[in-house]
Amino acid sequence: MQILLAGSVVLPLVGALAALLPAPPGLKGKNPDQAVLRHGVTVTGVVFAATLALAVGFDHAHPARMQATTDLSWIPALGIRIHLGVDGISLPLVVLTALLTFLCAVYSYFKMPTGPSPKAFVALLLVLESGTLATFAVLDLMLFFLAFEMVLIPMYFLIARWGGAGRQAAAWKFILYTLLGSVVMLLGLLLIGLKSGTFDMVALATDNGPKAQLSHTVQLVAVLAVGIGLAVKSPMWPLHSWLPDAHTAAPTVGSVLLAGVLLKMGTYGFVRIALPITPDGLHTVAPYLAALAAVGIVYGSLACLALVRTGAKGDLKRLIAYSSVGHMGFVLLGIASMTPTGINGALFANIAHGLITGLLFFLVGGLKDRLGSTDLDTLAGTTGAALYGRAPRFGGLLAFAAVASLGLPGLAGFWGEMLAMFGAFSPAAGLSRPAFLTFMALAGLGTLLTAAYLLLVVRRICMGGTLKAPTSPTEAGGPATAPALLDLAGYEYAAWGPLAVLTVLAGLWPAALLGLTNPAVQQLLGGGK
């Protein structure tokens, strides 16, 4: 188990280095580009298999206990250790990261984004995977910071070199926002480590450990500093403005990983660091965090409604990016409730958002490949997508992803948002219930607005514009009978199918995930008991 976890983190780095080297004789395939793309599929596939083996070997009877741990001294003078481990909170995120990266590698093998050498693309993809897996696996505050920052450079280059229009500005905005937030976060992590005498996250999570040395003032300052860096990555309104530009400019796989994995790093940090290590400080700021989350839910939905209206020239990728602001608002609202119900809902919503929004961005990439545009007015025009008639399986999958994203009961998106609102309905002791009831009401309004804009998206793209019936045989070949689009290809079934299946399974069997997270959440809230 130790080897599986450590190998999952290290193997992508080794694979990234190997991707830059010449392919060995006999493995070059038809050309070097095909060989390096196949290398990416192989490495990410092995890592995904390792995380599945880790999940199978995980002791599901004790999900609150850290398992597959590695604890080695690294910088003794500063007390920094190479400390790895997973519990019921981090294990689902580790598997989700490995799955999405593998599916992105498979998709890129058949649909490599336009840009420089595939060698650099595969190497950056693997470095990104290693940094993300490390973020969810490390148990030392300084290692967490290094892993948290490690993903920024590869994502910057994926946007700046393989992105679309406006990619340079979007990449710079992404890197500046996240770096500035991370500088403040580092100060908060150093404050915790210096005041407590350790950077060990497991020791700090216990009430009778070093955390006892952190006064309320220290906790409050630390949670504010750490929270800013985590909120930028989450992304929390009003620190979200880098996200729509980054998603709009990023290549398809960049958008999938950005929404499906990178946003989860911020909310995971709130649960792993802020909640157990600075509970008094988080309790003080929780009403403000919940208020910003509720505003983000409504704001994201209103922005999407503005983009989807006829004549707005809204971009579908940008719309899904704004929807992520709303969906991640539910995660932050659940965390701010500081209750087991709300936090379990937040963790469930994390996974559901990764599956559903990853699928949506894959589908938008497929639309752009087929029609050359993601402009909603173009896709909804009389010669636009009209997917139900021109590519029915593609249209059906897009409609499925949309109704999953709006939280239809029986699919994964429902449970997380419902539990997060239940947590706000009855927040932790000491938090203002009337205030949280107001936030819950705003979140409920957000669900209605979400249903409105997503159903409009389905109607406009899957059904197309209003077509005039042909009045003569010569008009019958006009826009009303536009030629068929290429429906789902085999590689698209392979890359997108697992996300659809898991969305259904998580919706029908939520206990599989909640059974992992709940004991670990109870232990975090109980001060390690």
Confidence at residue 483, expressed as pLDDT on a 0 to 100 scale? 61
Question: Minimal CA–CA distance to 108: which of 118, 97, 95?
Answer: 118
Are 391 and 483 in contact, with CB atoms under 8 Å apart?
no
Q: Is 70 exceeded by the pLDDT of residue 146?
A: yes
Kind plus residue range of the DSSP H or E element containing 74: strand 67-75
Alpha-helical (H) ranges within 21-166 are: 32-57, 90-110, 118-137, 141-150, 152-162
- The overall longest dimension of the chain from CA atoms, in Å, is 85
311's torsion region: left (phi>0), alpha (psi -120 to 50) or beta?
Answer: left
Residues 283-303, mean pLDDT to the nearest whole number = 93
Nearest 5°: the CA angle 190, 140, 65 is 135
Confidence at residue 138, expressed as pLDDT on a 0 to 100 scale? 93
- Provide the pLDDT confidence category of residue 466 given band limits of 50, 70 and 90: very low
Q: Is 90 exceeded by the pLDDT of residue 296?
A: yes
Q: Is 70 exceeded by the pLDDT of residue 300?
A: yes
- Percent pLDDT > 70 in the chain is 93
Q: Is 90 exceeded by the pLDDT of residue 341?
A: yes
Confidence at residue 13, expressed as pLDDT on a 0 to 100 scale? 93
Task: Report the alpha-carbon distance of residue 119 to residue 442 in Å, rounded.
Answer: 47
Confidence at residue 100, expressed as pLDDT on a 0 to 100 scale? 95
Helix axes 141-150, 152-162, angle to 10 degrees: 10
pLDDT tens per residue, range 19-70: 888 766 555 556 777 888 888 999 999 999 999 999 999 988 888 888 988 8
Kind plus residue range of the DSSP H or E element containing 82: strand 80-86
Residues 325-352, mean pLDDT to the nearest whole number = 93
- Tell me which DSSP letter residue 280 carries: H
Confidence at residue 74, expressed as pLDDT on a 0 to 100 scale? 85
pLDDT tens per residue, range 387-401: 888 888 988 999 999
Q: Is 80 exceeded by the pLDDT of residue 472?
A: no
Confidence at residue 167, expressed as pLDDT on a 0 to 100 scale? 85
pLDDT tens per residue, range 113-135: 887 888 899 999 999 999 999 99
Are 367 and 397 in contact, with CB atoms under 8 Å apart?
no
pTM: 0.90
More confident: 383 or 236: 236
